[in-house]
Amino acid sequence: MNILQAIILAIIEGITEYLPVSSTGHMIVASSLFGIEKNEFVKLYTVAIQFGAILSVVVLYWKKFLNFKEWSFYFKLIIAVIPALIFGKLFGDYIDEMLEKPLFIGIVFLLGGIVLLNIDKWFSNPVVLEEKEISYLTAFKVGIFQVLAIVFPGLSRSAATIIGGMSQKLSREVAAEFSFFLAVPTMAAATLYTIFLKDITIDGKEIKGYELMLSDTTILTNFLIGNVIAFIVAFIAVKSFIGLISKYGFKYFGIYRIIAGIIVILLCITGVIG
């Protein structure tokens, strides 16, 4: 993967990580289209640049994350992230296998789009209008929905948690913001595990992610540039997203997913990707 390809993936990560369109799905499809080899370095890179996206939310909502007087906020995130941590650990091999199947991702794109097209109609009477009104039980239920994004790659962690939140009577703005908040511990856990704990096989030798990152100046440069770009783009995307859904709801994201899903399915059927 060259520096231009690394920049393209970082831009895609920044734009799509917090939108209900699946960042993982977009990066897998983009990798196929741009001829990016599916090796251990690329897999590590697509996870490691999540750090920049994570940081963008912490910076944007720093008053929320650094308000140590409101411990209930942290407890809600801990409760909500537990299901994803358990399922991610138990089904890691299954997840890796499904991520190699663009056709499956295209189908999930399409089906997720149909849901988003109707979600504003289905959940039109919210009663939870602020984050502090979210109960611990509701936070846990949203965390269960997040697991769907693990079981069905291409669904989108953001889409799953927003749908889960709205199904629990959260307003779409509160559901979206809680999805942002929950992304921080979820993505941080996945990123730290992949970099520091997970074994990666390179030329028959097992090493840790951070050892691969530090093994070459070019590789390290790609990671640093990728995180900076992901941070900037995600910062802009998150700031824009709440305004967009407040004004238009989720229907346009649903339409986009349906179109994207059809395109991916056709590209797979015709052998262009996959």
Distances (CA, A) of 186 to 50, 139, 227: 11, 13, 17
As a whole number of angstroms, the distance between CA 208 and CA 210 comes to: 6
Q: What is the pLDDT of residues 108-165, one digit of tens each?
A: 999 999 999 999 999 988 999 999 999 999 999 999 999 998 888 888 899 999 999 9
The torsion region of residue 262 among left (phi > 0), alpha (psi -120 to 50) and beta comes to alpha
pLDDT value at 56 more than 80: yes
Q: Is the pLDDT of residue 28 over 90?
A: no
Domain boundaries, the chain: 3-269
More confident residue, 36 or 171: 171
Model confidence at 96: pLDDT above 70 = no
Residue 274's pLDDT band (boundaries 50, 70, 90)?
low
CA-CA distances (angstroms) from residue 142 to 39, 81, 169, 222? 33, 9, 11, 34
Question: pLDDT digits over 209-235, tens only?
Answer: 889 888 888 889 999 999 999 999 999
What does pLDDT average to over the chain? 89
Total-model pTM: 0.89
Average pLDDT over residues 197-208: 84
Kindly state the helix (H) or strand (E) to which residue 205 belongs, with its residue range: strand 205-208
What's residue 94's pLDDT? 66
